[in-house]
Amino acid sequence: MKIVVQKFGGTSTASPQMREAAVERVRQAIAAGCKPVAVVSAMGRAGEPYATDTLKGLAESVNLQAPLRELDLIMHCGEIIAAAVMAATLHKAGIRARAFTGFQAGLQTDGSYGEARVVACEPGRVRRALQEGEVPVVAGFQGVDPDGEITTLGRGGSDTTAVILGSALPAVQVEIYTDVRGIATADPHILQEARIIPRLTHSEVCQLVYEGARVIHPPAVEVAMKHNLDLVIRSLTEKDPGTRIHTGAEVAAAGFSPSPRRVVTGIASAGDIVQLTVEFALPDPELEMKLFERLAGAGISIDLISVFPQFKIFTIKEESLGRASQVLGELELSFRVEKNCAKVAVIGFGMRGIPGVMARVVRALNEKGIDILQTADSHISIGLLIRRPDLPAAVETLHSHFSLGEPEEVPAET
């Protein structure tokens, strides 16, 4: 069987018109000789009756401190409703379909409410439905732990459901249908000239999403990379081919050059950052370890870390500042806060082993009078902390400097 997993997001299931568009995508897969498996998110967004945030808000309107177990129970209902409605829509269109919960589809989790990790997937019932000529419609975002408790996979978890099923079945690819045309060279809300990138490696997409691009759930890309599974992100209603995400080996194999043509393939950004500078009267490794352990225990993710004997400088999300201040106060540490910051990152598989990329980035921003407050880099990314008002200019400058608005040649499919 040539299986393809098709994931339909909340906007794709919210209205009869969008569900009909999803049915057409299923038809296209069948016409291409594939056996489609549909994975669905809850219908609509906050405020609409069956959206995840609406259901969560219903429980919290009764008790703001509602237990996580009960929140997972109510939130997972949205995807089940969407699966049943989508299956009914397919039946109406003459396509045999069967709806499955995450549990029925074989997703087993570690039991962590709200942010569960899938530890195993046994999709036997999904395979049998395919063999019997049905289209399985699986509720995303959920699984069940060894004790039979319903758990959810965190915001964006339906992407992860689709990729895990695609890996376990296995599928030839996972198609993620959404309300954007693909992954862009920069945030289109900041830069209208941003262009859809036809091909990216798993590593590049991981960097883009962790640096601020909100196009796919980061764990989904990690699972796809681990299982060497191709992903396609594209619009539900438009004919654009979207962005194909694939193994880095395909990039190296294109043509005879040892490096891809572009050094940088995309710009990621985030505008909700603060910088903390923590002062130590004397070097104190034990207190330093306690600081980072306490921050982790408070659920605070830190980034752009610079560690010196008497100073620790790092960034956090603005929403975490209150909790971080409490931790630092409890440890009786002095600290300074630089608010109103943003992060911009240049990302590209092609910068591996290429000298001078950092120099080009610094020069381009300096020429525009944009101050760089802090930096960090990996073999395929350079992240820079800047002041938030400078973010649009920084994105535009780097996008132009690396010629990301110019179309690129796409290798022919083999």
Tell me the pLDDT tens digit for each residue of 120-165: 999 999 999 999 999 999 999 999 999 999 999 998 899 999 999 9
| pLDDT for the residue numbered 253 | 45
Tell me the pLDDT tens digit for each residue of 205-257: 988 888 877 788 888 999 999 999 999 999 999 988 999 998 764 444 444 44
Percent with pLDDT over 90 in the chain? 74
Provide mean pLDDT across the span 301-321.
92
- Cα gap 54→114, rounded to integer Å: 16
- Cα gap 372→387, rounded to integer Å: 8
- DSSP notation for 52-115: HHHHHHHHHHH-TT--HHHHHHHHTHHHHHHHHHHHHHHHHTT--EEEE-TTTTTEEE---TTS
- The alpha-carbon radius of gyration of the chain (Å, integer) is 23
- DSSP notation for 2-27: -EEEEEE-HHHHSSHHHHHHHHHHHH
Confidence of residue 341 (pLDDT cuts 50, 70, 90): very high
Provide mean pLDDT across the span 337-359.
89
Tokens matching residue 73: 């129970």
DSSP character for 184? B
Which strand (E) or helix (H) includes residue 243? strand 243-246
| pLDDT for the residue numbered 257 | 46
Q: How many residues does the chain have?
A: 414
**Which of helix, strand or coil describes residue 329?**
helix
Tokens matching residue 343: 């992060």
Tell me the pLDDT tens digit for each residue of 56-99: 999 999 998 899 999 999 999 999 999 999 999 999 999 999 99
Q: Where do the domains of the chain lie, and which CATH numbers do they carry?
A: 3-179 (3.40.1160.10), 266-401 (3.30.2130.10)
| pLDDT for the residue numbered 248 | 60
| pLDDT for the residue numbered 408 | 66
Tell me the pLDDT tens digit for each residue of 253-299: 444 444 455 789 999 999 999 999 999 988 888 999 999 999 998 88
Looking up tokens 């237990």 gives 67
Provide mean pLDDT across the span 345-369.
90
Going through 76-229 in order, the beta strands assigned E by DSSP cover 97-100, 107-109, 118-121, 135-139, 142-144, 150-152, 173-178, 199-201
**Helices (H) and strands (E) in the chain — how many of each?**
14, 18
Q: Which of 166, 266, 175 is nearest to 226 (CA)?
A: 166
- Cα gap 52→45, rounded to integer Å: 7
- CA distances from residue 166 to 35, 298, 316 in whole angstroms, order as listed: 12, 34, 34
Q: What backbone torsions phi and psi does residue 213 show, to the nearest 5 degrees? A: -70, 130
| pLDDT for the residue numbered 153 | 94
Q: Which of 172, 180, 187 is nearest to 224 (CA)?
A: 172
Helices 218-226 and 202-210: crossing angle in degrees, nearest 10, is 160
CB-based contact 157:150 (threshold 8 Å): no
- Cα gap 382→167, rounded to integer Å: 31
| pLDDT for the residue numbered 414 | 42
Statement: residue 409 has pLDDT above 70: no
Provide mean pLDDT across the span 193-197.
92
CB-based contact 210:269 (threshold 8 Å): no
| pLDDT for the residue numbered 261 | 58
Confidence of residue 410 (pLDDT cuts 50, 70, 90): low
- Cα gap 152→106, rounded to integer Å: 14
Higher pLDDT, 240 or 361: 361
